[in-house]
Amino acid sequence: MPSLNILIAQGGGPTAVINQSLAGVVFAAHHSGVIDRVVGARHGVRGILNEDLVDLSCETAVHLEAVARTPGSALGSTRDKPDLAYCKEMLKVLKAHEIGHFYYIGGNDSADTVRIVSEQARESAYSLRCIHIPKTIDNDLVGNDHTPGFPSAARFVVQAFVGANLDNASLPGVYVAVVMGRHAGFLTAASALARKFPDDGPHLIYVPERTFEPERFVADVRTVHERLGRCVVAVSEGVHDAAGVPIISKLAPAAERDPHGNVQLSGTGALADLLCAQIRDRLGIKRVRGETFGYLQRSFAGCVSDVDQREAFEVGERAVRFALSADRDGSVSIKRVGHYAVDYELAPLETVAAQTRVMEEHLIDAGGTDVTDAFRAYLQPLLGSGLPEADRLRAAAVPKRLKAR
Amino acid sequence: MPSLNILIAQGGGPTAVINQSLAGVVFAAHHSGVIDRVVGARHGVRGILNEDLVDLSCETAVHLEAVARTPGSALGSTRDKPDLAYCKEMLKVLKAHEIGHFYYIGGNDSADTVRIVSEQARESAYSLRCIHIPKTIDNDLVGNDHTPGFPSAARFVVQAFVGANLDNASLPGVYVAVVMGRHAGFLTAASALARKFPDDGPHLIYVPERTFEPERFVADVRTVHERLGRCVVAVSEGVHDAAGVPIISKLAPAAERDPHGNVQLSGTGALADLLCAQIRDRLGIKRVRGETFGYLQRSFAGCVSDVDQREAFEVGERAVRFALSADRDGSVSIKRVGHYAVDYELAPLETVAAQTRVMEEHLIDAGGTDVTDAFRAYLQPLLGSGLPEADRLRAAAVPKRLKAR
């Protein structure tokens, strides 16, 4: 009889495929032959602290597959960022339940939590294998070609901009959509893959890797609007001025902050409305519409990249394999091989924890409001199969009979 | 050689399937054997006025099918609401191009335009068959069981709320999403079909058919939040006070108005932000997030009800059949037959034009914040096949070992 117990939890913002990773761990554990019980913690590290645990070993495969296809964090999530004392309390619970492996699915904050728990376990001579499983729609984990959750969110952004461009072409004006991404512009940049014809939008893309200058923004919109009679803009929620102050903070200085001290950027339409007001007031354009894609980007049911789905499951499986075979803790990371395949490595936790990857320079166009071909080549294989394609009429003009006279 | 020329245009807000209706007209025209040329007007009635016309007869079937699958108005649209003088100018162009049939795809405003053109043609003894083809995501055309465009938009709302509910369950708090629909609550009510388990959201649904009382709204949210520890709310953009004043106007008295005198409700996140501020200030709940689905509801590429797609094409085909066989002008309307099929009738233009259907009383729950089973039975067959389904873990709790001591 195997006697190894493992614990898994989900942290940070949910994604469309985070439950694939959960399922990947449970399946791999069952198939390992050496793991007795898979324990899930409700609402991330908070569930460990509160001993709010469930027994995932009794879930059927059929049911687990259905959960894997469901967006959101099936175990519940948390924004808690444990400090040393918190981690020590967690360790007591892990010990009490004789947990041998700790798996945490999350972003760079979650990786940092795994790092602290790993250190504390070692210091107290408690034998605990700690594995971080990557997840974030922001694609901002260092050492990863990309992170599970990002491809599906990117697909949502592409499908949204395909539609937004067509809507804007139907009823011309200026359209500004705010896309998630506090420090990294990957998701906003994904909007570029919505274009098919040369005059398709988004015509301007603003990522947080570049300083956002309101004056230049207005001038950029004017230029496009004068050329095409319309303009579609993608703006990252994290755009900031030269001093690094988020543009949204300038509008709402009392903006809400999360436990990590970050200003609340999502769950409000303020930034889009502010930018639209600028255009309306400064350019006198009548039809100006602003939108914030918000949580739909990470949770919309039925917009998933099949590549992402497969990889998210596999990082879960790989985590268990690494835990059983490697002699160290770490973070599962995705490496790209050729055009297009991936392989997985176990990176040291400190190389991922609390670090933030941003878009590499060669992915952003020199002008600062577009992406490069390198970015398009990077993203295309991640979007998955069956992307909807837009088309337009080719009908020739009918010669005028009245106005020509 | 046939010598009948017909003209088609698209008006008002685009939908995911409005190009199906365009394609339906063109295909039916080709198959009729009596129609020579299909002329399209760019940007609705404005294209007629400006003689901005294209020859759709030369489009290939393969290409037209690709366009039909594309959201947005392929011919371009307009918000122009022609008056008598405008219609008389249009008639001159129709005469100059020897147009025998005028087809206008649009909502109740477009139906009214068709009515005026029809009257003017008759008065000037110009033989013109005028047919209105229904389209609106608001589902507010009288005499129709439902309107093309609504089922796909409803499907978007359902998929969005399936995800929003899961996201909110992952990271509990209050989530408020504003849904399109100025006078009719059908689209907001569609959110109810996102629920699977008894505690799934949306937990509160506010439609414009009921007076919106901010006091009661806050109390409703408090009740749900105390019971579940979270709350998901669907609010129609058109909610108003007892005097009929839109709630958004109270926030932004200088709100933009369209040529029809309507306050701009879409393309701004103001209403969601206002409602969230109420909850945050009055209930002291920390995690409160507001979103506005906006234009994604009508244009998101890749979220289409196959039932809607089929029917939208068929209303276009039917329009041509009616035009060729009936001895009067009219509006193609959809009638429901059994569970579930549809048939089409040609309704008098004046019964549809400039009228607004709202949700029938028996579709709204007595409490005023939910729908009835009758509404669920009404909407379910329209959503189409292959809706994503959510599932959740069933894992049993692990007995506490520390806290229980």
Quick: pLDDT tens for B171-202: 999 999 999 998 999 999 999 999 999 999 99
Does residue A215 register a pLDDT over 80?
Answer: yes
Non-local (6+) Cβ contacts of A130 within 8 A are A101, A102, A104, A114, A115, A117, A118, A121, A329, A349
The B residues from 190 to 229 touching A (CB cutoff 8 Å) are none
List pLDDT tens digits, range B67-104: 999 999 999 999 999 999 999 999 999 999 999 999 99
Looking at every residue in chain B, the average pLDDT score rounds to 94
DSSP state of A257: B
> Do the chains contact at B391 and A63, CB–CB below 8 Å?
yes
Q: Does residue A88 carry a pLDDT above 90?
A: yes
Name the fold adopted by A150-302+360-383.
Answer: Rossmann fold (3.40.50)
B298: closest CA of chain A, how far (Å):
8
What pLDDT, on the 0 to 100 scale, is given for residue B101? 98
AA letter at B50:
N
Test B393 with A67 for CB contact under 8 angstroms.
yes
Q: What is the pLDDT of residue A256?
A: 58
Q: State ipTM.
A: 0.95
Question: In this predicted structure, what is the pLDDT of residue A191?
Answer: 98
Partner-chain contact A51 B402, CB within 8 Å: yes
Cβ contact (<8 Å) for A398 and B164? no
Q: What does the mean pLDDT of chain A come to?
A: 94
Task: Tell me the residues of chain B between 166 and 185 that have a Cβ less than 8 Å away from chain A.
Answer: 166-167, 169-171, 175
**Chain segment A347-358, per-residue pLDDT in tens:** 999 999 989 999
Rounded mean pLDDT for each run of 10 residues along chain B, 405 residues in total: 88 97 98 96 97 96 97 97 94 97 97 96 96 98 98 98 98 97 96 98 98 96 98 96 88 57 69 91 93 94 97 98 96 96 97 94 97 98 96 96 75
Q: Are the Cβ atoms of B298 and A167 closer than 8 angstroms?
A: yes
* Interchain contact B372–A (C-beta under 8 A): no
CB spacing of A390 vs B71 below 8 angstroms: yes
DSSP string, A187-204: HHHGGGGG--STTPSP-E
Distance, in Å, from the CA atom of A186 to the CA atom of A374, rounded to the nearest integer, reads 13
Judge whether A338 is closer than 8 Å to chain B, CB to CB. Answer: no
Tell me what percent of the residues of chain A surpass a pLDDT of 90: 90
Rounded CA-CA distance B177/B286 in Å is: 17
Domain layout of chain B by residue ranges: 4-148+304-352, 150-302+360-382
For B150-302+360-382, CATH number? 3.40.50.460
Which residues of A are tagged catalytic? 138
Domain B4-148+304-352's class?
Answer: alpha beta
pLDDT at residue B254, as a whole number? 56
Please list the active-site residues of B.
138
Whether A252 contacts chain B with CB within 8 A? no
Of B52, B291, B300, nearest to A267 by CB-CB distance is B291
Architecture field, domain A4-138+304-352? 3-Layer(aba) Sandwich (3.40)
Q: Which of residues 144-163 of B touch A (CB under 8 A)?
A: 159-160, 162-163
Rounded CA gap, B192 and B139, in Å? 16
Predicted TM-score (pTM) of the model is 0.96
- Pick among A18, A168, A171 to test the B interface (most B CBs inside 10 A): A171
Task: Say if the Cβ atoms of B50 and A77 lie within 8 Å.
Answer: no
**What is the identity of the amino acid at B91?**
L
Residues of B with Cβ-Cβ distance to A72 under 8 angstroms: 163, 166-167, 169-170, 390
Partner B contacted by A123 (CB < 8 A): no
Distance separating alpha carbons of residues A289 and A167, to the nearest angstrom:
11
**Which residue in the set A59, A166, A395 is minimally distant from B394, CB to CB?**
A59
Q: Cα–Cα distance between B391 and A74 in angstroms, integer?
A: 9
Same fold, B4-148+304-352 and B150-302+360-382: yes
Q: Going by C-beta distance under 8 Å and a sequence separation of 6 or more, which residues neighbour residue A163?
A: B16, B71, B72, B295, B296, B299, B300, B301
pLDDT at A1: 54
Provide the pLDDT for residue B343: 97
Q: What is the 3-state secondary structure (H, E, C) of A272-305?
A: HHHHHHHHHHHHCCCCEEEEECCCHHHHCCCCCC
Q: How far is B390 from chain A (nearest CA, A)?
A: 5
What's the rounded mean pLDDT across residues A282-297? 93
